[in-house]
Structure 1
Amino acid sequence: MSGQPSPASRPNLLLPAVLTVIGVGVLFTLGAWQWQRMDEKRAFITRLETQTQGPAAPLPPASDWQKLDPAALDLTRSTATGTYLDGIAGVRTTIAAGPPGSRQLSGFGRWIFQGFRLEDGATILVNRGFVPESRFATITPASGQATITGFLRAPEARNSFTPADLPQQREFYTRDPVAIAAALGLGTIAPFYLEAERQGDGLTPPAGVDVKELIARIPDNHLQYALTWWGLALTLIGVFGAYAWQARRKPDPESRGAQT
C-alpha cells in the first residue's frame, strides 16, 4: 500500500486556515492603517514647517480667541508686544541631548511659564524656555515691556501616566495654559500659549525653542510599523503553508501498519 495518508486520516486544516485568514486580514489592516498614518504625519510635519518658516504675524485678536482651533494654529510663528506679569510656574520635562557638536541645554528640567499682558489688555502665557533642574532656583521672573517672537502652541493633553499637577507649588506636568494661569492668578487667559523662539547660543537658561530641532523630534516611525505588520502577515502565511504541507505528508498509521 502507498505511504500517502488517506483522506480520512489527514488533519483537518479548515480551522487553522480560517484562523490564518483572520490573522492575515488583521495584520494587513494594521499595516495599511500605519501607512495611512504615515501620510497624515508627513502632511502634518510639512504644514508645521511651512507655518514656522513664514514671517512672524501678530497674535489673533482676543475677540476671536474662543472661536480658534488651537491645534490648527500650532507652531504658527507669531509676535506679541506687552508687559511681563509677576510670577513664574514650571512645567517638568526632559530634553534629550542633541547630536554631536550641538549646543543646547538638555536633561531633566522645567519649562518656565510667565504671564504676559498684551497692549490691548488681554493676557497670554509665555513659555520662556527650558531650564535644567539644577539651575531652576536661579531663575527670576522677567519684568517690563517686551516684544516676544515665538510660536503659538496648543495646550498639551494629559494621559493616564501623567502625574498630578501641584498648582499650590506652581509645579505642572503638562503645558496647560488655563491650569497654569489659574495657579498664577491671571484670570481669563488665551486658549493657547506663546513659546519663545530661541535666542543666542541656547545655553543660557531659560533657553527658548529651536523650532527646527523641535520638528525633527516629532516621531515618524509609521513606515517601519507598517512593514512590521505586513512582515508578520507574510510570516503567518508561511507558517500555515509549512504546517499544511507537513500535515499532508504525514504518514498514515493504518497504511504503515499494513506494510509491516
Structure 2
Amino acid sequence: MLAFVGVALFVSFLGLGTWQLQRRAWKLDLIERVNERVRAAPVAAPAPAEWPQVNAQQHEYLPVTLAGQFLPQKTVLAQAVTELGAGFWVLTPLQAADGSQTLVNRGFIPAGERQAWQPDRSGAGDAPQTVTGLLRMAEPGGGFLRDNDAAQQRWYSRDVAAIAAAQGLERAAPYFIDAGRPGQPVAAQAWPRPGMTVISFHNSHLVYALTWYGMAAMVLVAAAVVVRWERRRSQPEPKTL
C-alpha cells in the first residue's frame, strides 16, 4: 500500500512539473505574439457584432482606433499606481454613431487633479473624437483587498460591466481602450497622461515546475530511506555467545 502511494505521488508530481513546463512554453509564445501585436498598425475596434468573440488571447493589447463623441458627464476615476506615483485613471465612455459606447482610459492623473476630472468638465465631449490605443480586457471585482463600490463611486479596477451599469451605459463594449501607445511622445504637463500601459505577464511556470520536480525527487529519496530501513529490519540479528 505504501509503495502504491509513493508511486502515485511520484507520477503526479512529475506530471505537474511537465505540465508547468508546457504552460511556460505557451506563455513565452503568448508574450512574443503580444509584443508583435503591439507594434502592428491600428485596426478598427471590434464592432458590437464582434463583441461575443472578443477574448484576451486574440485581442488583449491589440492597437485599435475608434471614432465617436465622449460622454464627459459619465466619467469615472479608478485608482492607479504608476511610474508617476499614485493617482487615478480617467475613464470616459466614447459613444459611436451607432449608439454603442466604449469605455476609454484617457490616461493617468495625479491625485491633485481629481476634482477637475470627476465629473469631467474639460468640454472634450463637444466635438467628435478619434481615439487610438490598445484594447484591454475588463478587470472585474476590484483591486488588492478592495472591492469596487459603485454606489460611492470608488473604483479600484477597470471593471467595464460594473462601470457601465453604474453609469447607465446600455450598449457598452465588453472591453476598454487604453488611449495612446507606450513610448509615444506626450506633452510633459498634459493630463490625463496617455500611453502608460504596462505590458506584462505573470510567468512563474519554471519556478512551479522546479518545485514539482523537487517534490518528485523527495518522494524518491523517501522511498530509498524506507527501502533501506526495511532491509535492515529484515536482516537477522547477530547471535551472541
Q: Same fold (TM over 0.5)?
A: yes
Distance (Å, rounded) in 2 between the aligned partners of 1:86 and 1:208: 17
Amino acid at match of 2:202: P
Alignment of 1:7-156 (within 5 A): 15=2, 17-62=3-48, 64-71=49-56, 72-87=58-73, 88-95=75-82, 104-106=83-85, 108-133=86-111, 135-139=113-117, 141=120, 142=122, 143=124, 144-145=126-127, 146-156=129-139
Could you tell me how far 1:115 is from its partner in structure 2?
A: 1.3
1:255 Cα deviation after fit: 2.5
Q: Identity of counterpart residues, as a percentage?
A: 28
Contact kept, 8 Å, 1:105 with 1:207, in 2: the verdict is no
Matches within 5 A, 1:187-226: 187-198=170-181, 199=184, 200=186, 205-211=191-197, 214-215=198-199, 217-226=200-209
Larger radius of gyration: 1
TM-score, normalization by structure 2: 0.80
Amino acid at match of 1:105: L
Any stretches of 5+ residues in structure 2 without a counterpart?
none
Letter in 2 for 1:92: Q
Structure showing greater relative contact order (alpha-carbon pairs closer than 8 Å, 6 or more residues apart)? 1
Displaced runs of 4 or more, over 4 A: 132-135, 159-162, 201-205
TM-score by length of 1: 0.75
Closer/same/farther in 2, CA of residues 219 and 68 from structure 1, 3 Å limit: same
- Report the RMSD for the aligned CA atoms in angstroms: 2.9
Number of corresponding residues: 231
CA contact (8 A) 2:141 2:147 kept: no
1:79–1:148 CA contact under 8 A, matched in 2: yes
Q: Note closer, same or farther for the CA distance 1:123–1:159 as it changes in structure 2 (3 Å cut).
A: closer
